[in-house]
Amino acid sequence: MRILHTMIRVGDLDRSIRFYTEVLGMKLLRQKDYPDGEFTLAFLGYGDESENTVIELTYNYGVEKYEMGTAFGHIALEVDDVYRAADEIKRRGGKILREAGPMNAGTTIIAFVADPDGYQIELIGAKG
């Protein structure tokens, strides 16, 4: 078994695709419209779905905003250098929620960013 994808609902599919591709550097792997079901799916990631876990963005026609709720936490991305990645994300227009630095009660370097819908994304430094 392996994890295939994580699905999140978005209010503006084009805006979210721009964020994940232009700010986080993912690739749009595939996108399909389902007019009978009134939704569109887009799959994004850093590599082919056959070998990598990806993010599925779901746009439901006419829904511009979702409540975040309290159960979902965040998506985590491993990066070589958290400080540099956070600076680059800021330069590309991304919103930093927590600046890069050691995690609370630990030494792992992390940062948090938000996607356009408010989903939190944790950047975690690669372990050498």
Active site residue ranges: 122
For residue 13, how far is the Cα from the chain centroid?
13
Contacts (Cβ under 8 Å, ≥6 apart) of 8: 55, 56, 57, 58, 75, 117, 119
Contacts (Cβ under 8 Å, ≥6 apart) of 72: 119
End-to-end CA separation in angstroms for the chain: 27
The one-letter code for the residue type at 66 is: Y
